[in-house]
Amino acid sequence: MKKPLIDRLYQRVAQRGHVCLGLDTDLSYLPEELLSSDKSPADALVEFNRRIIDSTLDVTAVYKVQIAYYEALGLEGLRAYAETLRYLREQDAIVIADVKRGDIAKTAEMYAQAHFSGDFEADFMTVNPFMGMDTLAPFFPFLRDQDKGLFVLVATSNPGASDIEGIVSQSGASVSQMVGDMVVEQGAPFVGSCGYSSIGAVVGCTNKDQTRSIRHRMKGCFFLIPGYGAQGGTAHDMADYLQDGNGGVVNSSRGILLACRGNRFGGLSFEKAARQECIRMRDEIYECL
């Protein structure tokens, strides 16, 4: 019998490390050999993604696909998005659809149906809770009946995060802390045998002075950790987010997809350089635990 989704993700981290590879693929990332071929831009993008996936599958815990990069190319881009998701699932990869949806009632239900079934099916979705916790409820039947999961925005990695997330209430808790507490409460019915819930949280590793307090408040919450690499976060910055070497995945997109253009792996093919960067990142995280 197949393990629940969150238990499978926990096991993947234990087996393959903490790397979440972000397929936030811009056409400018593609090598000239693909762009100058007789393929359409969308087909070239899919081939790039496939070669990255094939080269990194055994050293990556999970893949995150940011839909905006595909939406920007119109209908052909959405076809490339769907084909990338399909290929990942064919390889038994765990997939996060980075779509950051946040609405209520029937609209949220349609978002859940769109990204948990059909052409755009993924395993996890990123969601924005800032209209209230009722934005999460329409997703729960998919978590319960179809083994899906959520990553809820709690403490993001962007420079302006504190504009809203950092506002402190009369109780002394910040907006981010209050949202985190509510996410833990909402996730309680979906805890797997690993001790974590299928409702996880997005917490940036650029929140360097808050990592211990966030983890203390959200002990049973699995973390999706952006901000590593291009946004300035390091393995040391996120080490306190993890518990007993697990409990989170660390996202890198440009750092992996463009590894062939850097000094460290220059000269390697883009897929071989991506693999080496995943291994380097994985090992760097291990060293900090």
Catalytic residue numbers, as ranges: 100
CB neighbourhood size of 244 (10 A): 8
CB neighbourhood size of 195 (10 A): 16
> Minimal CA–CA distance to 16: which of 57, 49, 51, 55?
57
8 A C-beta contact, residue 211 and residue 250:
no
**Residue 17 phi, psi dihedral angles, 5° rounding:** 100, -175
C-alpha 42/C-alpha 53 separation (Å) is 16
Residues in the chain: 289
8 A C-beta contact, residue 271 and residue 54:
yes
> Minimal CA–CA distance to 248: which of 20, 8, 58, 16?
20
C-alpha 245/C-alpha 285 separation (Å) is 9
